[in-house]
């Protein structure tokens, strides 16, 4: 499934494994984790959708609990972060069992092929784009309102953490596919990044306005280095597709600016953090031995 940037995601998990020192469960650092994103963090929301973007079959999950819908051999970065935060990994929204007290520790809304723009990834079939993930969060919120007082709910939400991993599909499953999507005719790279960031900002404000206060906004990794792009673009052997990575730079730099803006008194009581996945994965690709690997090349 080269379409879902599994390669660098696997490396991202690997990196976190390094950071995570398993010494029993620490006390919970947050009451709940709410996850918005794409296949990098989907843990089963696409399983029952009419979609080609599914991972609920072998060999996904071979090093974990078997296939769950995670686009990974093992745990996702969310599973690892949940351990670090001392909370259970949040269950997928789309699973009917994710209701009642099971949503108290948070919910995962991520959907493979989904993007910041509603149209991104539509050639894979159904998926939950960011706008729909926010609506699904509001659905959880109405359930939570029946479980605690307004005051407790506000406190709970303000202490919880929202993790957002979005944007990859707006590039690999939209902007970079000119025969299926018109965006690259209508927008140059910086205009397209701005379009994405405007949509993103609107959804962040929506989540802030219903009470979330802590946000981790994860940037886009070096998609010019994934097999999906190496196979479709012209590049020198052993090198990543530079112009693809340059285009993502507009998004990542804009996201840093958006984080600064959101932190700059415009949204009191909140904290927004940028996750520099581009830098982290780039370092793994450039210095594999630092991470216990002998080779970081992709064989295309
Ligand atoms: C994109 O187009 C705008 C004009 O609309 C221009 O100012 C900008 O330099 C262009 N950016 C790129 C990266 O081509
Ligand atoms: C933050 O706010 C100050 C004062 O309102 C302003 O001068 C500054 O440009 C802002 N910075 C950003 C990154 O928005």
In-domain check, residue 41: yes
Q: Is 70 exceeded by the pLDDT of residue 51?
A: yes
- Across 90-94, 133-137, 211-215, 289-293, least confident range: 289-293
Q: Is 50 exceeded by the pLDDT of residue 1?
A: no
Predicted confidence band at 6 (pLDDT cuts at 50, 70, 90)? very low
In-domain check, residue 21: no
At 25 the pLDDT is 59
| Cis ω before 187 (30° cut-off from 0) | no
Q: Is 90 exceeded by the pLDDT of residue 237?
A: no
In-domain check, residue 22: no
Pick the residue whose CA is nearest to atom 14 on ligand 1: 188
In-domain check, residue 204: yes
In-domain check, residue 138: yes
Pick the residue whose CA is nearest to atom 11 on ligand 1: 190
Measure 260 CA to ligand 2 centroid, in angstroms: 8
What pTM value is reported for the model? 0.90
- SS3 state of residue 161: strand
273: domain CATH number? 3.40.50
115-173 per-position pLDDT tens digit: 999 999 999 999 999 999 999 999 999 999 999 999 999 999 999 999 999 999 999 99
Measure 262 CA to ligand 1 centroid, in angstroms: 25
In-domain check, residue 184: yes
- SS3 state of residue 75: coil
In-domain check, residue 189: yes
C-alpha span between 4 and 221 (Å, rounded): 12
Measure 189 CA to ligand 1 centroid, in angstroms: 8
Q: Is 50 exceeded by the pLDDT of residue 218?
A: yes
What mean pLDDT do residues 211-215 have?
98
Counting the structural domains of the chain, the total is 1
Q: Which ligand is nearest the CA of 260, by number? A: 2
Domain containing residue 82: 2-16+29-298
Measure 174 CA to ligand 1 centroid, in angstroms: 19
Q: Is 60 exceeded by the pLDDT of residue 53?
A: yes
Q: Which residue has the tokens 């996702």?
A: 76
- Across 41-50, 60-69, 220-229, least confident range: 220-229
In-domain check, residue 37: yes
């Amino acid at each position: 499934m080269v379409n879902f940037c599994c390669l660098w995601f696997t490396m991202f998990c690997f990196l976190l494994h390094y950071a995570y020192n398993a010494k029993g469960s620490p006390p919970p650092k947050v009451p709940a984790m709410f996850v918005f994103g794409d296949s990098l963090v989907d843990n089963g929301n696409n399983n029952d959708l009419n979609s080609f973007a599914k991972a609920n079959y072998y060999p996904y999950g071979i090093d974990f609990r078997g296939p769950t819908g995670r686009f990974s051999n093992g745990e996702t970065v969310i599973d690892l972060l949940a351990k670090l935060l001392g909370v259970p990994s949040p269950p997928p929204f789309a699973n009917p069992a994710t209701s009642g007290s099971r949503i108290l520790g948070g919910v995962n809304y991520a959907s493979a092929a989904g993007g910041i723009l509603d149209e991104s990834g539509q050639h894979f079939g159904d998926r939950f784009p960011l706008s729909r993930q926010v609506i699904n969060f509001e659905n959880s919120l109405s359930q939570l309102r029946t479980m605690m007082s307004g005051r407790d709910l506000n406190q709970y939400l303000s202490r919880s953490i929202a993790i957002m991993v979005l944007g990859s599909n707006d590039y690999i499953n939209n902007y970079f596919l000119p025969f299926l999507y018109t965006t690259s005719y209508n927008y140059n790279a910086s205009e397209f990044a701005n379009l994405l960031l405007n949509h993103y900002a609107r959804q962040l404000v929506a989540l802030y306005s219903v009470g979330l206060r802590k946000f981790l906004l994860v940037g886009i990794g070096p998609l010019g280095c994934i097999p999906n792009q190496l196979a479709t673009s012209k590049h020198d052997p052993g090198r990543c597709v530079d112009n693809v990575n340059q285009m993502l730079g507009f998004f990542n730099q804009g996201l840093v600016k958006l984080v600064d803006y959101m932190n700059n008194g415009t949204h009191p009581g909140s904290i927004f953090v940028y996750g520099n996945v581009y830098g982290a994965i780039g370092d793994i690709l450039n210095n594999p031995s630092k991470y216990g690997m002998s080779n970081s090349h992709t064989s295309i």
